[in-house]
Amino acid sequence: MPEGMHVDYDGLIPNNVGLAQDLRVRKALETWHPGYIDWWKEMGPVGFQESLVYLRTAIGVDPTGWAVFDYVKMPEYKWGILLAPKVEGRKIPFGRHKGEPAWQEVPGEYRAMLRRLIVVQGDTEPASVEQQRHLGATAPSLYDLRNLFQVNVEEGRHLWQMVYLLQKYFGADGREEAEALLERRSGDADRPRILGAFNEATPDWLSFFMFTFFTDRDGKMQLEALAQSGFDPLSRSCRFMLTEEAHHMFVGATGVQRILQRTVSAMNEAGIEDPYDVEAVRRLGVIDLPVIQKKLNLHFSLTLDLFGNEISTNAANAFEAGLKGRYREDKLTDDHQLHNATYPVLRCVSGRIVEEQVPALSALNMRLRDDYVREVEAGVARWNQVIAKGNINFKLKLPHVAFNRAIGEFSTIHVDPDGNILDDAAWAARKSEFLPSSDDGAYIADLMKPMFERGRYAGWIAPPRVGIDNKPGDFEYVRIV
Amino acid sequence: MDAVAAPQAIDFRTEPARYKHWRIELRDNVAYLIMDVDPNGGLVPGYELKLNSYDLAVDIELHDAVQRLRFEHPEVGAVVLQSGKDNVFSAGANIRMLGQSSHGHKVNFCKFTNETRLAIEDATENSGQTYLCAVNGPAAGGGYELALTAAHIMLIDDRRSSVSLPETPLLAVLPGTGGLTRLTDKRRVRRDLADVFCTTEEGVRGKKAVAWRLVDEAIPPSAWAETVAKRAREAAARSDRPRDEKGITLTRLERREEPHQLHYRYLSVVCEPEKHRATITLRTPTEALPASLEEAVARGDRFWPLALAREFDDAILHLRFNAPELGLWVLRTEGDPAAVLAHDAFLEAHKSHWLMREIRLFLKRVLKRLDVTSRSLIALIEPGSCFAGSLAELAFAADRSVMFAGQRAGDNRSPATLTLGPANFGCYPMGNGLTRLATRFYGEPESLTRAEAAIGQALEADAASELGLVTFAFDEADWDDEIRIMLEERASFSPDALTGMEANLRFAGPETMETRIFGRLTAWQNWIFQRPNAAGAEGALGRYGSGIKPDFDYNRV
């Protein structure tokens, strides 16, 4: 059995990292644990803490059977630390140390950079839980409520993974950072989360689905890049986290799909053909396609900001150091060092959008973003199939990458979703065509009424095709207390 | 190349209407000096000034703004340095700019930047215009060094913003504008904590920054704007500047450029590139002494001491940046010594008036700029000259001064004189805190006393020589040859050795924060800037941003 396959389930913290023998780290984690539980109770889902939720819990790292489903009270969820099994003889796959044995300890010269990468990644995990904490009250079904909580507890568990790395490998600084992860609060003016998109509100379920589709997919890309890391514990940690992350994106992709399904069906039933007859569609109590497009515009553009600056020294440094690779680095066939390579990047030069060839090392953020955009394009195409099947003449479309940006080259200009540059006045006048207006928000908020009856769904969303863990349609995913 | 009229000469003259990188907002007797660098507004192409990083173009505007706030705004009692960008205060000097600049430009740039930062501290200390810094985002390197010039540093405590000096870990250089020195000497940061701070690329945030005395207070975002405004109003309330007086306008400095010549109203520069020489002549006023303070104020920037100070400042900067090959500056004066002394006395009599105070402080700074200029300075005291009082400081700033003894045949002007005044004994100290005469007579206090006793006497060459006030005195028989030979010899030495030698000899006596900044720190920095670990093809500056790690030579020197 490779190292790391055995999971110790006996202690307070399930793990496959030998915590029982590692007194120093165990003590640090046990000291951190009460603060975490306090954070969960204060900032985790509002209500439902005593309810029994049909949750998936990771119990091992064997890809063929790593999880079990059962009813759990969320605060009693088995948050654990699970690293993918160690690959014997693993080498650093890229950068200046390519081919050297992967590090099992933090190299001193990269300590600060590595810690920063882990802290930034770690900060997003509790942030999304905080952003979504009010959604339980308006869940459109028990099925969706359970999915929300599944996402939440797994994000919480991912925080544990990152905190483990901080406490195990970064000494007193690491413990301090682990505490700080519990102190920052999404959207708080005085102690915000590190990244902008994680301080935005998730006001409704459409936002939640968009968030899990777009923003969690950025998380996936970042985890994929870190899974390539030459620092083996980080790589192993991220590889295992990715197995859970897939479900989060499934929730988003199918959530939006079910909303589209419901809207299209309702329009078909009512004989409405014009998707832009928003008033008529809204009279049906479903979410109109144009507002779905606007939400898409918002979440896509916010998420692009998470990829950072187009030309990034930090990304270059992290690659060169062997700490953060590219998406599927191990499948790429170039020299994995990129000293002489270039990469095309859209830039803003004198207020115009132009493509430039830049050194590939400096463009790593863009490379990851391009990989990301390809994935979400495929997802949007699947959504469009639902609309096409309903014979509605409407296509969802990703906005231009320069649209509505707060970070990077395009933060200084305004463009419409097609990439045409707008002056300040035109932007102000047309903004509500592109992004959800307060009226749109009010309409959606008005639809958000809870539906907690077994097997029933709110009127604006279709039921899923299959249940979680193959459960039947009227399965009681959450036993509300 | 025509050094004076070079087509791409760097021009230090600017005004708020031309600013690209700063803006000034005035409210409640406070000036908000807001840094909002235009990424495309660099001095030369080849780099983008992202994240409020700066180059000389940005610093020229800062220099102008600091100067104007003093002269044009007597009502402003406090100045708040802050960033106009969300989420960043300043990323410091632009690294790509440093990477592509010549060594000479880097050194000149750092020196000028240092001078501006000291001028900021001078405003707080002497001008009743207290600088505060509102660090509303990460302040790295030169960005934090700018903050360090403020008397009170406020850091936004948003769990993200930090102050840092990442030069050593990130760039293999030093914080070049006084950062290290101000940490220990001004902020009194403990040296081991300073060591940790200066090797931690990400810097220090919030309460820890306060505990280590890197900043004065950490303020949560919800209380930020209000606290900053409050601190500024409090500082302004402590000012002795007159709230109800009007400032003067610093109009655009007029200068006439001719081949190898530059002419201002009271100052001329004549360049002789083949001799590596520039001759700078300062002249006395054409207008009579103002009859009253009101008249002096009404003259504004035409008032002779101010006009001359502005012209001299501009000429020094112009020659430093645009004529590096002119390594020898000959300092001359022309006019009536009595006029100089009368103006000195006028400034002294009205020294508590805000504008007269500003003029004297400005003269002090210009003379200091001369002190730290890496050119050989030779003062020639000839018949018709006016080395008296404040202008006699030129002779004491010079590395050597030579005085003409007696008269020339056929020249009926009276012999050259040197006249000391009270101005030579206190109001224009050097960076070491001493007057130029006290520095000159560092080992012989009795000479200083004797000099003081000679205040007001028009000393001819023998007497001046006897008092040790000039280096040599030559009469007509020797003058032309001696001067020619001395200047030719001087111009023939290694410019580098001269720069080092002069900088060493000029600042005798005690070290101050200021002398440490210019001396110790810049010497190290300039050495590091030349070393392959920083500037080589595989060094940190060249590779910065490429992601490729520098290859260091690990031998200690």
Confidence band (pLDDT; 50, 70, 90) for B3? very low
Residue A34: is its pLDDT beyond 50? Answer: yes
Q: What's the rounded Cα separation, in Å, for the pair B519 and A193?
A: 43
Rounded to a whole number, what is the distance in Å from the CA of A110 to chain B's nearest CA? 11
CB atoms B546 and A190 under 8 Å: no
Best mutation target, A117, A118, A191, A337, to test chain B (most B CBs within 10 A): A191
Report the sign of the C-alpha dihedral through residues B47, B51, B52, B53, in that order.
negative
Q: Do B158 and A112 touch (CB under 8 A)?
A: no
Angle formed by the axes of helices A171-183 and A111-131, to 10°?
A: 20
Q: Looking at the complex, report in whole angstroms how far the Cα of residue B166 sits from the nearest Cα belonging to chain A.
A: 12
φ/ψ bin of B47: left (φ > 0), alpha (ψ from -120 to 50), beta (otherwise): beta
Q: What is the pLDDT of residues B62-119, one digit of tens each?
A: 999 999 999 999 999 999 999 999 889 999 999 889 888 888 898 899 999 999 999 9
pLDDT in tens, B132-179: 999 999 999 999 999 999 999 999 998 889 999 999 988 899 887 889
For residue A14, give the DSSP letter.
-
Please check the confidence at residue B522 and state whether its pLDDT lies above 80: no
| A319·B158 Cβ contact <8 A | no
Pick from B222, B545, B547: CB nearest A189: B222
CB pairs under 8 A between A and B: 55
pLDDT tens digits, B533-552: 998 888 988 888 788 888 89
CATH fold label, B256-506: 2-enoyl-CoA Hydratase; Chain A, domain 1 (3.90.226)
Each domain of chain B, given as residue ranges in start order, spans: 16-237, 256-506
Select A23-479's CATH number: 1.10.620.20, 2.40.128.20, 3.40.50.11740, 3.40.50.80: 1.10.620.20
| pTM for this entry | 0.87
In the prediction, which pLDDT does A92 show? Answer: 97
Single-letter residue type at B247: G
Phi and psi of A201, rounded to 5°?
Answer: -75, 150
Does A173 reach chain B within 8 Å, measured CB to CB? Answer: no
CB B98 within 8 A of CB B264: no
**Highest CATH level, class, for B16-237:** alpha beta
Distance CA B438, CA B443 (A): 9
What's the pLDDT at B217? 98
Which of A183, A194, A315 is nearest residue B160 as measured by Cβ atoms?
Answer: A194
Cross-chain residue pair A316–B202, CB shorter than 8 Å: no
The Cα B240–Cα B129 span in angstroms is 9
Q: Quote the CA–CA distance of A241 and B384 in Å, as a whole number.
A: 86
Q: Is the pLDDT of residue B197 over 70?
A: yes
Average pLDDT over residues B197-223: 95
CATH topology identical between B16-237 and B256-506: yes
- Residue A1's pLDDT is what? 52
Instruction: Give the C-alpha separation, A55 to A70, whole Å.
Output: 6
Cβ of B546 within 8 Å of Cβ of A359? The answer is: yes
pLDDT at B6: 45
Q: What is the C-alpha separation between B201 and B112, in angstroms, rounded?
A: 26
pLDDT confidence band for B526 (50 / 70 / 90): confident
Q: Does B221 touch chain A (CB under 8 A)?
A: yes
Q: Pick the range with the lowest mean pLDDT from A62-76, A176-190, A428-442.
A: A62-76
- Position A255 pLDDT exceeds 90: yes
Mean pLDDT, residues A432-453 taken together:
96
Q: pLDDT of A44-99, one tens digit each?
A: 999 999 999 999 988 888 777 678 899 999 999 988 899 999 999 999 999 999 99
Cβ of A112 within 8 Å of Cβ of B201? The answer is yes
For residue A320, give how far its alpha carbon lies from the nearest alpha carbon of chain B (Å): 6
Residues in chain B within 8 Å Cβ distance of A180 = 159
pLDDT per residue over B390-424, tens digit each?
999 999 999 999 999 999 999 999 999 999 999 99
What does the block give as tokens for B366? 């210009």
Cβ-defined contact of B160 to A320 (cutoff 8 Å):
no
Is B283:B266 a contact under the CB 8 Å cutoff? yes
Q: Is B544 on the interface with A (CB under 8 A)?
A: yes
Give CA separation, A174 vs A218, A318, B161, B164, in Å: 25, 19, 18, 19
Question: Is a pLDDT exceeding 60 seen at residue B32?
Answer: yes
The DSSP 8-state label assigned to residue A436 in this structure reads -
Contact between chains at A320 and B548 (C-beta distance less than 8 A): yes
pLDDT value of residue B2: 43
- CA B368, CA B430: separation in Å to the nearest integer? 6
**Positions of E strands within B394-534:** 400-405, 418-419, 458-459, 472-475
Residues of chain B in contact with residue A362, where contact means CB-CB under 8 angstroms, are: 545-547
Q: Are B287 and B341 in contact (CB under 8 A)?
A: no
Residue of B nearest to A196 (CA): B87
Closest CA to B255 of B11, B1, B7, B2: B11
Q: DSSP for B113-159, please give it.
A: HHHHHHHHHHHHHHSS-EEEEEE-S-EETHHHHHHHTSSEEEEE-SS
3-state secondary structure of A312: coil
**Which residue among B201, B221, B548 places its CB closest to the CB of A361?**
B548
Structure tokens at A248: 């989060």
At A2, is the pLDDT very low, low, confident or very high (cuts 50, 70, 90)?
Answer: low
For residue B529, name the pLDDT band (cuts at 50, 70, 90): confident
pLDDT digits (tens, 9 = 90+) for B234-245: 999 999 999 999
Render B168-199 in DSSP notation, one character per residue.
Answer: IIIISS--TTTHHHIIIIIS---HHHHHHHHT
* DSSP-derived pairing of the beta strands B22-27 and B30-35: antiparallel
- Give me the pLDDT at residue B159, please: 82
